[in-house]
Chain A
Amino acid sequence: MALSRLTSRSNGISRPLSTAFGRFISTDTTPITIETSLPFTAHLCDPPSRSVESSTQELLDFFRTMALMRRMEIAADSLYKAKLIRGFCHLYDGQEAVAIGMEAVITKKDAIITAYRDHCIFLGRGGSLYEVFAELMGRQDGCSKGKGGSMHFYKKDSSFYGGHGIVGAQVPLGCGIAFAQKYVKEEAVTFAMYGDGAANQGQLFEALNISALWDLPSILVCENNHYGMGTAEWRAAKSPSYYKRGDYVPGLKVDGMDAFAVKQACKFAKEHALKNGPIILEMDTYRYHGHSMSDPGSTYRTRDEISGVRQERDPIERIKKLVLSHDLATEKELKDMEKEIRKEVDDAIAKAKDCSMPEPSELFTNVYVKGFGTKSFGADRKEVKAALP
């Protein structure tokens, strides 16, 4: 059955996730049409159909990848509490459908840029679990060689431009990447992701204005998880209809807990942006964790609300129900898959724990591309100095 073929292919810790999609390798692409849970709400455009083209393979891939993302984030929670991850750690569990649905309809030439809740986006772009955990623990095999940390994951060869710590900054940057794509006539788009908190940033509107003026292929994706850190959306935004905030720019409101709705919306947005310039997608989503590991997440929302969403709208549960109802796998097979995923994640963590920290000389690397041998200094400049290559 499709599932056994899938499980036999799933070995190895640092295997890029794209092969798990099986988009290119799978032999079972029996088409399935899935109805989105909710209709789309449109602003200045005609919403796409609620019927989403998919396949048995895609359904299984969605389940597997989201389960992997979920497991990765939960494991990061434990590592943070064990003090192996330092500083800031912003977890994405609950929001997996956005990352998955987007990846399903774009290429590696389409670009993604996001803020600091970036672990799952990185994984979706082809990053490995090992690179994730090594970076989180500040080891030299991390995707940023241990020098970035949780908020600064990048994968340029997959057009993933980070990983940004300053709220809102990633949106003009993303519009700039879209500018470059148009400049070189690449026929690709950029998804600039931001949250409901960042949606109020002035620079966002500046970038949107320019994108609309210059017809840039930028897609602004507001991951509305309804809380900007500890501030609920109704306390931060006079108008929390983020999909309408573009005014003259069309927008679509999407059930962000439904991977197929996300997929359909992103497909629609890509077609739109290539022809007509910017568009806003508002993904109605939810994060189970607090804003970061320093935030319990329960002082500004009730535990009932959190468990309510988990019961009614969990994105993985939704896919699981679809898999079961389409007879693509049994409960046991899915449980086995989850066990396998757990092991994959544990193995990656074990390997990352064994990885060494960066060499002290790495303090002085990558300051410049071309340093001209200029001197840089440590805390005691008479003791520690280096020539930047």
Chain B
Amino acid sequence: MWGILRRSAVDGGGGFSASSLRRTRFALVSARSYAAGSKEMTVRDALNSAIDEEMSADPKVFVMGEEVGQYQGAYKITKGLLEKYGPERVYDTPITEAGFTGIGVGAAYAGLKPVVEFMTFNFSMQAIDHIINSAAKSNYMSAGQINVPIVFRGPNGAAAGVGAQHSQCYAAWYASVPGLKVLAPYSAEDARGLLKAAIRDPDPVVFLENELLYGESFPISEEALDSSFCLPIGKAKIEREGKDVTITTFSKMVGFVLKAAEKLAEEGISAEVINLRSIRPLDRATINASVRKTSRLVTVEEGFPQHGVCAEICASVVEESFSYLDAPVERIAGADVPMPYAANLERLALPQVEDIVRAAKRACYRSK
């Protein structure tokens, strides 16, 4: 009985199209599942409320970036903050990433807690020296004298039809740097909990959002709506339990993997879906424990394949759980090309649900 209830709850919690019947069953299951079911929240509102609450709680927190104030945010994430907190807490910057990022890091050196927005992380490349050399390494080089409690946030990865210069995923680049923390939320709960944790964190955090997720609604629990809610940094979430194959991913791809898991379930393959949430520190323990259970791994990401997050996960599993693997690790990633514009080519350049299903079947030695 409990087993059935739990499965329904996990199925229902996995997608954002849970039926009301499943929602009722939810209420009977432990808090480990998604929402109590009655409230929904978009990722946009989740991020906005997180920043709002942290600004309210700590006067040292301020927001800085292009169009974050009067324009209400290029993607409306900072909507209403200028009106609420005034121009001394919300700063519209000129289009000068190197300059304003350096200023943000300097403010963090001196004890403030900046939340610096990049309109997309593609533009962070103009400021990457400050993120890495000025922020990430300072605590180490100064042997603990200068810590940098800054958050760099903004949309990461592909949007829709924005072309090669506006579609890159930077998770692998930033996550390779010691001294940085790199987070990637998926749901509204992830967005709230991880952003609040990031703003409170005394170290520099790169917070990778996704433009296409901003408008998506997710069920959200009362607990997650509380102003003290925080998610732990460095811990992955098992979105869906399974026993045949482990599928890891982060950000927008979590939705795709969950859909793939549904399709696989119809064919009798039970997939365990891991939402990484934290790219650095990477939750190797959860990933390896899952692979030791299922013996098969598919890693999924949207970014370029070479030297990507998937490559690191594969290496970790081969190093720590080699004898448990029954099949080679499968990797589904963005195509190894700059992002094309034409809709059909763009579709080919990004992982699709069918790619994930195919890879999982390969890992299970099932033919098409």
* A residues in contact (CB < 8 Å) with B: 111, 113, 144-148, 152, 154-156, 161-166, 169, 171-181, 183-184, 202-203, 205-207, 209-210, 213-214, 365-372, 374-376, 381-382
Closest residue on chain B to residue A165 by CB atoms: B133
15 contacts between A and B (CB under 8 A): A147-B140, A148-B143, A156-B146, A162-B141, A162-B146, A169-B130, A172-B100, A173-B102, A176-B103, A176-B109, A203-B102, A366-B144, A370-B203, A372-B233, A381-B319
Quick one: closest A residue to B111, CB to CB? A180
Asked if B228 is an interface residue, CB under 8 A from chain A, the answer is no
Residues of A within 8 A of B296 (CB): none
Partner of A144 from B106, B108, B145 at Cβ < 8 Å = B145
Given contacts A202-B98, A203-B102, A369-B203, contact A176 B143 (CB under 8 A): no
User: Which residues of B lie under 8 Å from residue A372 when comparing CB positions?
Assistant: 232-234, 281
Q: Tell me the bound Cα distance from A210 to B107 in angstroms.
A: 13
- Other than the given A147-B143, A178-B106, A206-B96, 10 more pairs (CB < 8 A) read A163-B141, A163-B142, A169-B130, A172-B99, A179-B112, A184-B111, A202-B98, A203-B102, A366-B142, A368-B202
Residues of B within 8 A of A165 (CB): 133
In the bound complex, how far is the Cα of B148 from the Cα of A367, in angstroms?
A: 11
Q: Is the CB of B96 within 8 A of A210?
A: yes
Q: Is the CB of B109 within 8 A of A173?
A: yes
Chain A, residue nearest B97 (CB): A206
Inter-chain contact B203/A172, CB cutoff 8 Å = no
What's the nearest-Cβ distance from chain B to residue A149, in Å?
A: 8
Given A172-B130, A381-B319, also A177-B99 (CB < 8 A) = no
Please, which residues of chain A bring their CB within 8 A of the CB of B178? 367, 376
For B, the interface residue count at a CB cutoff of 8 angstroms equals 47
Contact between B202 and A370, CB atoms less than 8 A apart: yes
Residues of A within 8 A of B98 (CB): 172, 202-203, 206
CA distance A344 to B24 in the complex (A): 79
A375 neighbours in B (Cβ, 8 Å): 281, 284
**Given A165-B133, A176-B109, A183-B62, also A210-B147 (CB < 8 A):** no
| Residues of the B chain whose Cβ atoms lie less than 8 Å from the Cβ of A166 | 129, 133-134
Query: Which residues from B are CB-within-8-Å of A156?
Result: 142, 145-146
* Partner among A162, A164, A172, A176 whose Cβ is within 8 Å of the Cβ of B110: A176
> Which among B88, B99, B108 has the greatest number of chain A C-beta atoms within 10 A?
B99
In the complex formed, the residue of B with least CB distance to A172 is B102
Select which of A184, A374, A381 is within 8 A of B234 by beta carbon.
A374
In the A-B complex, the 6 residue pairs with the smallest Cβ-Cβ separation, listed nearest first, are A176-B106, A206-B99, A172-B102, A180-B110, A374-B281, A145-B143
| Residue contact B139 to A367, C-beta cutoff 8 Å | yes
B185 within 8 A of A: no
For residue B134, which residues in chain A have a CB less than 8 angstroms away from its CB?
164, 166, 169, 173
Most buried by B among A165, A171, A372: A372
**Residues in A whose Cβ lies below 8 Å from that of B96:** 203, 206, 209-210
Q: List the A side residues contacting B309 at CB < 8 Å.
A: none
Docked pose: A147 CA to B144 CA in angstroms: 10
Q: Which residues of B contact A176 (CB under 8 A)?
A: 102-110
Partner of B107, one of A179, A209, A371: A179
Q: Which residues of B contact A213 (CB under 8 A)?
A: 94
Using an 8 Å CB-CB cutoff, how does the interface string of B79-99 with A read, 1 for contact, 0 for none? 000000000100101101011
- Can you list, as one digit per residue, whether each of B147-171 has a CB less than 8 Å from chain A (1) or not (0)? 1000000000000000000000000
Interface: B277 (CB within 8 A): no
Q: Are B139 and A368 in contact (CB under 8 A)?
A: yes
- For chain B, residues 222 to 266, give those with C-beta under 8 angstroms from any C-beta of chain A: 232-234
Assembly CA distance A165 to B130 (angstroms):
12
Complex contact B281–A175 (CB within 8 A): no
Report how far A161 CA is from B146 CA in the complex, Å: 8
**B94 CB contacts on chain A under 8 angstroms:** 206, 209-210, 213
Q: Which of B93, B129, B146 has the most CB of A within 10 A?
A: B146
Chain B residues with Cβ below 8 Å from A172 are 98-103, 105-106, 130
| A206 in contact with B139 (CB, 8 Å) | no
Q: Is B93 touching A210 in the complex (CB atoms < 8 A)? A: yes
| CB interface residues, B 277-299, toward A, < 8 Å | 281, 284
Task: Tell me the bound Cα distance from A284 to B272 in angstroms.
Answer: 67
Find the residue from A175, A176, A210, A367 having the highest chain B CB count within 10 A.
A176
Q: Which residues of B contact A365 (CB under 8 A)?
A: 143-144
Measured between alpha carbons, how far is A203 from B146 in the docked complex, in Å?
Answer: 22
A171: which of B102, B142, B147, B319 is its contact (CB, 8 Å)? B102
B216 / chain A contacts, CB cutoff of 8 Å: none
Task: Give the Cβ gap from B94 to chain A, nearest Cβ, in Å.
Answer: 6
Give Cα distance in the complex from A205 to B178, angstroms.
30
A365 to B141, CA, bound (A): 10
**Contact yes or no, A183 B107, CB < 8 A:** yes
State in angstroms the CA–CA spacing of A206 and B59 once bound together.
26
A382 touches B319 (CB 8 A): yes
CB-nearest residue of chain A relative to B98? A203
Q: Are A147 and B141 in contact (CB under 8 A)?
A: yes
B173-215 at interface with A (beta carbon < 8 Å): 178-179, 181, 201-203
Expressed in whole angstroms, the minimum distance between the Cβ of B197 and any Cβ of chain A is: 10
Cβ-closest chain A residue relative to B233: A372
Once A372-B232, A374-B281 are accepted as A-B contacts, the answer to whether A177 and B144 lie under 8 Å apart by CB is no
Shortest CB distance B278–A (Å) = 9
Q: Which residue of A lies closest to B109 (CB)?
A: A161
How far is B108's CA from A62's CA once the two chains are assembled, in angstroms?
34
Query: What residues of B have a CB within 8 angstroms of the CB of A146 in the complex?
Result: 143
Cβ–Cβ contact A169 & B234, under 8 A? no
> In the assembly, what is the distance between CA of A210 and CA of B110, in Å?
18
Closest Cβ of chain A to B254, distance in Å, is 22
Q: Across the interface, which residues of B come within 8 angstroms of A367, CB to CB?
A: 139-140, 178-179
Give Cα A105–Cα B306 distance, bound, in whole angstroms.
55
Q: What CA separation (Å) do A338 and B337 show in the bound complex?
A: 66
Contact A183 B88 (CB under 8 A): yes
Give the docked Cα–Cα distance between A147 and B234 (Å). Answer: 26
Residue pair A210, B100 in contact (C-beta under 8 Å)? yes
Tell me, in angstroms, the Cα distance from A243 to B179 when the chains sit together. 37
Q: Which of B104, B138, B202, B233 counts the most A-chain CB atoms under 10 A from its CB? A: B138
- Complex Cα distance, B98 from A16, in Å, reads 36
A213 (CB) vs chain B CBs: closest residue? B94
Give B150's nearest chain A residue, CB to CB: A176
Q: Which residues of A contact B99 (CB under 8 A)?
A: 172, 175, 203, 205-207, 209-210
Inter-subunit contact A179/B179 (CB<8 Å): no
Q: List residues of chain A with CB within 8 A of the CB of B234.
A: 372, 374
Contact partners of B101 in chain A: CB under 8 A: 172
Among residues of A, the one whose C-beta sits closest to the C-beta of B235 is A372
Choose from B110, B129, B203 the contact partner of A368 (Cβ within 8 Å): B203
- The answer for the CA separation of A178 and B178 in the assembled complex, in Å, is 28
Q: Considering residues B103, B133, B234, B284, which has the most beta carbons from chain A within 10 angstroms of its beta carbon?
A: B103
